[in-house]
């Protein structure tokens, strides 16, 4: 901003100032393309000015070229009737910018009598003009920049979730299992501050065909503004099967710095620019991150972990039902009954038939149930990793098996351009007519297999899993596009069980026969120590480690948001991270026991740090204008707020001179 010379200040401060005021008016127009108001080029209205209230005394207290709170009045001639009389906010003058300049002689111009234009006032028309019809004049009240902020609601400084499906009716069987009617609904997002609308309708019609509900008549709301939980909605009438509830609501921003909030206010109120100093305190302030309270485990990055109310642990059931879209791609005349997790036919055929589905899984676990009645020949191949849906030219891996007396032999093949090369074989001693196998492949390329009886010739019940061993170790092919099942033939009653049932998969590689996930990872959100970070404190945690299981805590950091993180480093309980940057993240890695029947638990963890600034836990802007919000920030910090002569938003320490 231009500095005044002492001579210019003397001219402006004299009781008989020798300068001319120039007044410029900039009206504003809504720009649909930019989705905001823009100011038009200024118009010189000096010739219409009949009177302007004295501003010198006000300038003495606020300083030249800075005008925040004071107001002034401007009387204009309307003899030419150029100012339309319209006392609504649609009046083109509403929110217009008025700038007053003092044109004084440039003392450095010598005899050239050049003028210097010095801005001494900047204000806005925020109230309707007062027209004096008899005098053919109008009076405008000009308000400072801060008053302009009162015309903007701060509510949009929040997160809007539109038409979210927050509940759907259960069928009668599910409802009986729950033991209660479905009337209480909790939003999936936390820190909900305002629910804009609730709709109810059939799921098949989606939200567009749902009916708007009325609060108190149809539902009641509770638990708004809950930092670590969602809002609760109590329906007066329970949901029925096939129905859904959609909601539109706003959530407050959480754990934001004062300067972040101030910048959002400046942006939302369409300030031209801003200069915001980080808020720092003279003494260290201790801050902390802890889970599960007050931060929910749900806020972290869940990588195959199970989040309970009181802990993080491994998934109790790590396999998912198959969700394949199968189609017959070879011997298409054979009729199959295809579901997402089964392939069944009772038709007889003597030429191979291939069924294929898209699948990108190249590592993890595949589990299949199938018949095992055929003898001394391979009647079925599972191309669980396949580059194409054509077995004659694909690359990948395939599993087959055949029965010899009381032994089934599992064969693992590497498939190279359609050619099969056996790379592993393992026996399973059984008299099964129906069996289930579990095949896993680790990132290191180890193929392992388990099997169990489902039905036997003696009519025995389903048996426990038997670990057969490692079939092979190979990482030739590391990607997949399809999964194929090839049925070699079906030519008699002994082959009627050559079907596929209950396919399950997981991206996790099993190391046992249990249902608990073999491993899991969970990461905290990235923790920001802030610009005023002094030091990080101690990492603390509480775990429950069952016999045979294991779990470790790791940390990593970076100095700048755009930087790459350091490698993960093992953390000890009570340890202070060594040379961490501003940003820190924690990682929990849990491993089940060998049988996948027991899991470790992370009960709680956290880290503290010391800083010279603080964050706002929950930025609740309900019923606040942008002026209210910025004043609250000023009270919180003791900082000075204002605008400079060019409309730049300023938030500075109290010792800073806004001039």
- Give the tens place of pLDDT for each residue, 358-391: 999 999 999 999 988 776 788 899 999 999 999 9
Average pLDDT over residues 199-220: 90
More confident residue, 101 or 523: 523
The CA distance from 195 to 182, in Å, is: 20
pLDDT value of position 258: 86
Q: Which residue has the higher pLDDT, 642 or 148?
A: 148
Task: Indicate whether 330 pLDDT > 60.
Answer: yes
Is the predicted pLDDT of residue 497 greater than 70, yes or no? no
Q: Give the list of residues 6+ apart from residue 30 with CB closer than 8 angstroms, or none.
A: 36, 37, 38
What's the pLDDT score for residue 15? 59
pLDDT tier at 507 (50, 70, 90 boundaries)? very high
Average pLDDT over residues 205-234: 90
Distance between CA 371 and CA 351 in Å, rounded?
19
Please report the pLDDT score of residue 446 as a whole number.
97
- Grouping H, G, I as helix, E, B as strand and the rest as coil, residue 13 is helix
Torsion angle in degrees (nearest 10) through CA of 372, 374, 378, 383: -30
Does residue 120 contact residue 102 with C-beta atoms inside 8 Å? yes
488 vs 330: CA distance, rounded Å: 11
pLDDT (0 to 100) of residue 16: 57
Place of tokens 């098996």: 401
For position 290, what pLDDT does the model report?
Answer: 87
pLDDT in tens, 114-127: 677 777 778 888 88
**Cβ atoms of 424 and 469 closer than 8 Å:** no
| pLDDT value of residue 111 | 57
Listed residue (456, 406, 422) closest to 436, CA to CA: 456
Give the residue, 379 or 520, on which the prediction is more confident: 520
Calculate the average pLDDT of the chain.
Answer: 85
| Partners of 320 in beta bridges | 505
**Average pLDDT value for residue range 636-646:** 78
- Nearest CA to 418 out of 433, 398, 437 is that of 398
The yes-or-no verdict on residue 87 having pLDDT over 60 is: no
pLDDT band at 109 (very low <50, low <70, confident <90, very high): low
pLDDT digit string, tens, across residues 246-297: 999 999 998 888 889 999 999 999 888 888 887 777 677 788 888 886 567 7
Report pLDDT digits (tens) over 49-83.
998 887 654 444 444 334 455 578 889 998 888 88
The larger pLDDT score, comparing residue 20 to residue 416, is at 416
Query: CA-CA distances (angstroms) from residue 259 to 91, 97, 618, 640?
Result: 35, 27, 14, 13
Average pLDDT over residues 204-232: 90
CA dihedral 155, 156, 161, 163 (to 10 degrees): 90
Give the relative orientation of helices 258-268 and 626-637 as an angle to the nearest 10 degrees: 160
**Res. 439: pLDDT tops 90:** yes
Q: Tally the residues of the chain.
A: 659
DSSP alpha helix (H) spans, 252-348 = 258-268
Please say if the pLDDT value at position 631 is more than 50: yes
Q: Is the pLDDT of residue 615 over 80?
A: no
Lowest mean pLDDT among 171-180, 308-317, 431-440, 632-641: 171-180
Residues 487/498, Cβ–Cβ less than 8 Å: yes
Per-residue tokens: 284: 């260290």
Going by C-alpha positions, the residue among 100, 92, 33 that lies closest to residue 64 is 100
Flag whether pLDDT at 299 surpasses 70. Answer: yes
Model confidence at 158, pLDDT cuts 50, 70, 90, reads very high
How do beta strands 648-652 and 273-276 pair?
A: parallel
For the cut 50, the answer to whether the pLDDT of residue 179 exceeds it is: no
CA 543 to each of CA 116, 128, 250, 303: distance values in angstroms, whole numbers, following the listed order = 73, 66, 36, 18
* The pLDDT value given to residue 171: 60
pLDDT of residue 585: 96
pLDDT(495) > 60: no
């Amino acid at each position: 901003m231009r500095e005044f010379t002492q001579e210019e200040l003397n001219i402006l401060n004299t009781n008989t100032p020798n300068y001319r005021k120039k007044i410029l008016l900039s009206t504003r127009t809504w720009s649909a393309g930019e989705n905001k108001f823009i100011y038009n080029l200024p118009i010189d209205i000096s010739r219409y000015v009949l009177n302007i209230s004295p501003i010198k005394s006000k300038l003495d207290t606020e300083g030249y070229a800075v005008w925040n709170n004071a107001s002034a009045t401007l009387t204009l001639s309307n003899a030419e009737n150029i100012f339309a009389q319209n006392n609504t906010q649609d009046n083109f003058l509403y929110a217009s910018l008025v700038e007053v300049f003092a044109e004084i002689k440039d003392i450095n111009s010598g005899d050239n009598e050049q003028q210097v234009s010095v801005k001494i006032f900047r204000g806005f028309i925020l109230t309707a003009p007062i027209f004096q019809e008899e005098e053919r004049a109008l009076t405008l009240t000009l308000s400072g920049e801060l008053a302009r902020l009162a015309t903007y609601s701060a509510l949009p400084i929040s997160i809007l979730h539109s038409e979210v499906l927050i509940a759907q009716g259960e069928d009668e069987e599910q409802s009986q299992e729950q033991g209660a009617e479905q009337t209480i609904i909790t939003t999936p997002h936390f820190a909900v501050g305002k629910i804009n609308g609730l709709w109810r309708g059939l799921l098949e019609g989606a939200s567009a065909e749902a009916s708007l509900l009325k609060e108190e008549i149809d539902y009641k709301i509770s638990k708004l503004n809950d930092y670590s939980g969602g809002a609760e909605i109590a329906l007066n009438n329970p949901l029925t099967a096939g129905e859904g509830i959609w909601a539109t609501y706003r959530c407050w921003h959480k754990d934001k710095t004062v300067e972040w909030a101030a910048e959002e206010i400046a942006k939302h109120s369409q300030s031209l620019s801003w200069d915001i100093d980080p808020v720092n305190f003279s003494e260290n302030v201790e801050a902390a991150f802890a889970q599960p309270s007050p931060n929910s485990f749900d806020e972290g990055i869940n990588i195959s972990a199970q989040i309970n109310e009181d802990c993080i642990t491994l998934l109790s059931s790590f396999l998912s039902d198959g969700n394949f879209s199968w189609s017959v791609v070879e011997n298409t005349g054979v009729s199959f009954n295809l579901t997402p997790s089964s392939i069944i036919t009772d038709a007889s055929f003597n030429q191979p038939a291939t069924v294929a589905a898209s699948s990108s899984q190249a590592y993890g676990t595949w589990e299949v149930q199938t018949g095992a009645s055929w003898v001394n020949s391979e009647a079925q191949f599972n191309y669980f990793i396949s580059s194409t849906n054509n077995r004659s030219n694909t690359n990948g891996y395939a599993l087959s098996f055949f029965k010899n007396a009381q032994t089934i032999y599992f064969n693992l093949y590497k498939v190279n351009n359609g050619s099969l090369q056996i790379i592993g074989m393992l026996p399973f001693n059984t008299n099964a007519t129906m069996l289930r196998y579990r095949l896993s492949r680790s990132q290191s390329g180890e193929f392992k297999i388990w099997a169990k009886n489902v039905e036997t010739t003696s009519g025995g019940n389903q048996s426990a899993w038997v670990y057969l061993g490692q079939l092979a170790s190979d990482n030739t092919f590391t990607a997949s596009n399809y999964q194929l099942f090839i049925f070699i033939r079906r030519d008699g009653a002994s082959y009627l069980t050559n079907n596929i049932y209950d396919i399950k998969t997981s991206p996790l590689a099993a190391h046992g026969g249990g249902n608990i996930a073999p491993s899991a990872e969970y990461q905290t959100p990235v923790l920001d120590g802030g610009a005023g970070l002094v030091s990080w404190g101690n990492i603390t945690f509480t775990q429950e480690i069952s016999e045979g299981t294991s779990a470790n805590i790791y940390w990593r950091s970076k100095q700048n948001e755009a930087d790459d993180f350091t490698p993960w480093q093992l953390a000890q309980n009570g340890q202070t991270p060594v040379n961490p940057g501003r940003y820190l993240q924690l990682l929990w890695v849990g491993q089940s026991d060998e049988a996948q029947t027991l899991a470790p638990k992370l009960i709680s963890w956290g880290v503290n740090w010391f800083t010279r600034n603080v964050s706002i836990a929950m930025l609740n802007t309900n019923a606040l204008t942008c002026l209210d919000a910025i004043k609250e920030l000023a009270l919180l910090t003791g900082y000075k707020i204002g605008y400079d002569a060019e409309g730049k938003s300023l938030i500075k320490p109290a010792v800073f001179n806004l001039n």
